[in-house]
Amino acid sequence: GRIDPLGALQNLSTGSNVRPPTDVHSQVELLRGLSGGEAFGKATINLVGATQEFIFEAYRLNVRATYKLIVDGNLVASNASASFGSLKFAFSNAQGSLAGPLNPVTRIRRVELRDSLDRLALQGEFDIDTTSPFPRAFEKEARLASTGAFEQAGGRATIRVESIREDFRRESLLVSAEGLISDISYRVVVDGVVVETVMARFGFVRAHFTSDDSSGQLLPLLLRPVVNIKRIEVQDARSGQAVLVGNFPLNPM
């Protein structure tokens, strides 16, 4: 049958299988420690309104070992059995108050999973800067909220840093928005600097910048390192009015 292009574009960010934009979404892939073996995992921070969430997931652990979770030097969980080779810790203030080291979740910097002998299995850093060693991938997200000009509009901006090779990292910035007026040009403004002008197709705009130009849109040098980006605006190019705005958390988060 005939494909509905408007529906297809809308489903990219509003379909039932896609996570809706959060106020803050930050995720880091974990690095192995000396006792990590073949283990891998990720740690995730989400903030939606007043709801805070911290999730730590680990896989391919030693099934005979027990583990403890340490956040910024503080023990937050212990004697956890990986009987099936995996562990998942989920903390949220939706179920009650968060422990001190986890509140607020946006201030979490370092996470560690250690075994009962205190040997490091997995580790991750949310506090990333230009001098810190990056894990395999680091990501954070900001929700783009309507300023009121187009109440139906919304979107998200995502910053990502990936270690493609030991000596090569790819930085990227992805901005997407929907609910805009079709066939109108919009400006993507990053920290007060116009970096792209795009035409809305079926009310949707998307700009994907990468440091190696793999996306076809080269990340401007003035935006690097991307982890220092603070504010994103989508402006109506006709009037210069901001229709969507979003702010990334400062570093450290």
Q: What is the pLDDT of residues 206-235, one digit of tens each?
A: 999 999 999 999 999 999 999 899 999 999
Q: Give the Cα separation of 209 and 225 in Å (integer).
A: 12
Tell me if 137 sits within 8 A of 162, measured CB to CB: yes
Q: Name which of 21-30, 110-119, 150-159 the model is least confident about.
A: 21-30
Tell me if 232 sits within 8 A of 142, measured CB to CB: yes
Instruction: For CA atoms 28, 29, 34, 36, give the dihedral sign.
Output: positive
Q: Which tokens in the block code for residue 21?
A: 């934009």
The pLDDT value given to residue 169: 84
Number of domains in the chain: 2
Would 130 be classed as within a structural domain?
A: no
Q: Are residues 142 and 241 in the same domain?
A: yes
How much is the average pLDDT of 97-111?
91
Say which residue the tokens 């956890």 belong to: 80
Of 125, 147, 162, which residue is a domain's last? 125
Q: Are residues 187 and 114 in the same domain?
A: no
Q: What is the pLDDT of residues 37-69, one digit of tens each?
A: 999 999 999 888 889 999 999 999 999 999 999
Would 252 be classed as within a structural domain?
A: no
Task: Tell me how far the alpha carbon of residue 161 is from its chain's centroid.
Answer: 10
Cis peptide before 135 (omega within 30 of 0): no
Q: Which tokens in the block code for residue 24?
A: 């803050």
The domain containing residue 116 runs over which residues?
Answer: 31-125
Q: Which CATH number is 116's domain given?
A: 2.60.40
Cis peptide before 21 (omega within 30 of 0): no
Q: Are residues 120 and 156 in the same domain?
A: no
Q: How far is CA 249 from CA 46, 108, 128, 146, 242, in A?
A: 12, 12, 12, 18, 20
Average pLDDT over the chain reads 86
